[in-house]
């Protein structure tokens, strides 16, 4: 399977072929995603909650992101992968933004980066794009700034906030972003922005009328149990499978059903006598 490029995603938008992508943070998940034919993978800063157990995404560091990105790239060498820039990796200055974006490409072999925010981060997006790197915008519900938004709440549900998001989207495109992610906004607004922009516009909880859909792997697989967003469709309940397997293992160990003879490595037959002699010699008196 050949890795898709920015041009492929533009062609898919033109043809009306939606992009399917998920987040992944480790080798096996990335490998399974590639085998399933996923168009893209986002190594999201959601790794803080789904993988590391943080209460939110703010504590996530560049080093944690780079480690996860490397694992994902090893698992999905032929899939377009995006590194999610964590909190404070781009907020301070354009120079910081370019440097940290470059780390995702240079150290983790990512194909692009994503960062949150609209017009307030336009100079960051432009600086990264001008440095020759692909950058995706992200507006609507932006988890890194959820405190400012008043929590994890849907955005753009009234005319004023919707207009702000439209202006943000246009500014992001003009700054040189190759694509835009909308999170938790009404489908009517998503459809307007997707038609208004020439670059691909993707949804995570923003409805169907756009150029593709993203879900967090922990949500769609039923791995993350703290809460399930309204927009998530669960395609599996892996947590239940794992818990039941662990329970069965505990029961087998406690009752002596595991391990059985088939699970053991035995003495080489030709050394059995010598082996037993050695054990007898070393037996404590």
CA 202 vs. chain centroid, Å, equals 14
Task: List the alpha helices (DSSP H) in 131-209.
Answer: 146-149, 159-175, 187-196
Using 50, 70 and 90 to split pLDDT, how confident is the model at 149?
low
Task: Provide the CB-side half-sphere exposure for 120 (13 A, CA).
Answer: 12
Q: Evaluate if residue 60 carries a pLDDT over 70.
A: yes
CA–CA gap between residue 265 and residue 149 (Å, rounded): 59
**What is the rounded average pLDDT for all residues in the chain?**
95
Using 50, 70 and 90 to split pLDDT, how confident is the model at 38?
very high
Structure tokens at 35: 């085998």
Q: Is the Cβ–Cβ distance between 166 and 182 less than 8 Å? A: no
Mean pLDDT score, 119-127? 97
Peptide bond into 276 cis (omega under 30): no
Which residue in 107, 174, 183, 270 is the catalytic one? 183
Work out the percent of the chain whose per-residue pLDDT is above 90. 92
Q: Evaluate if residue 91 carries a pLDDT over 90.
A: yes
Buried b (16+ CB within 10 A) or exposed e, 102-123: ebbbeebebbbbbbbbbbebbe
Mean pLDDT score, 219-245? 92
pLDDT for 226 equals: 79
pLDDT for 278 equals: 95
pLDDT for 281 equals: 94
Mean pLDDT score, 67-76? 98
Using 50, 70 and 90 to split pLDDT, how confident is the model at 144?
confident
CATH 3.20.20.60, domain 6-236, yes or no: yes
Work out the percent of the chain whose per-residue pLDDT is above 70. 97
CA–CA gap between residue 91 and residue 97 (Å, rounded): 7
CA–CA gap between residue 196 and residue 275 (Å, rounded): 78
Q: Evaluate if residue 152 carries a pLDDT over 80.
A: no
Domains in the chain: boundaries: 6-236, 241-282
Mean pLDDT score, 119-132? 98
pLDDT tens column, 186-196: 999 999 999 99
CA–CA gap between residue 55 and residue 46 (Å, rounded): 10
Q: Is the Cβ–Cβ distance between 204 and 42 less than 8 Å? A: no
Residue 191: active-site member: no
pLDDT tens column, 198-212: 999 999 999 999 999
CA 204 vs. chain centroid, Å, equals 12
């Amino acid at each position: 399977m050949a890795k898709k490029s920015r041009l492929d995603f533009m062609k898919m938008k033109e043809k009306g072929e939606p992009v399917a992508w998920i987040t992944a943070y480790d080798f096996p998940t990335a490998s399974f995603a590639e085998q399933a034919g996923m168009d893209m993978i986002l190594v999201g800063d959601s790794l803080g909650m789904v993988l590391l157990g943080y209460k939110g995404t703010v504590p996530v560091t560049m080093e944690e992101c780079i480690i996860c990105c490397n694992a994902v790239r090893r698992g999905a060498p032929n899939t377009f992968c995006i590194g999610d820039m964590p909190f404070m990796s781009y907020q301070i200055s354009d120079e910081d933004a370019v440097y940290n974006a470059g780390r995702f490409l240079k150290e983790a072999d990512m194909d692009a980066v994503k960062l949150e925010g609209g017009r307030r981060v336009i100079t960051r997006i432009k600086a990264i794009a001008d440095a020759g790197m692909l950058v995706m915008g992200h507006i609507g519900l932006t988890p890194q700034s959820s405190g400012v938004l008043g929590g994890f709440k849907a955005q753009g549900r009234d005319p004023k906030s919707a207009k702000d998001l439209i202006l943000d989207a246009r500014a992001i495109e003009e700054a040189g972003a190759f694509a835009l992610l909308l999170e938790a906004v009404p489908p009517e607004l998503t459809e307007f922005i997707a038609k208004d922009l020439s670059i691909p516009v993707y949804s995570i909880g923003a409805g169907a009328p756009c150029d593709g859909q993203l879900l967090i792997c922990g949500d769609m697989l039923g791995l993350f149990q703290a809460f399930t967003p309204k927009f998530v469709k669960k395609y599996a309940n892996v947590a239940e499978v794992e818990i039941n397997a662990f329970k069965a293992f505990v029961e087998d160990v406690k009752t002596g059903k595991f391990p059985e003879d088939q699970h053991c490595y035995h003495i080489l037959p030709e050394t059995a006598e010598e082996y037993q002699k050695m054990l007898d010699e070393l037996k404590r008196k």
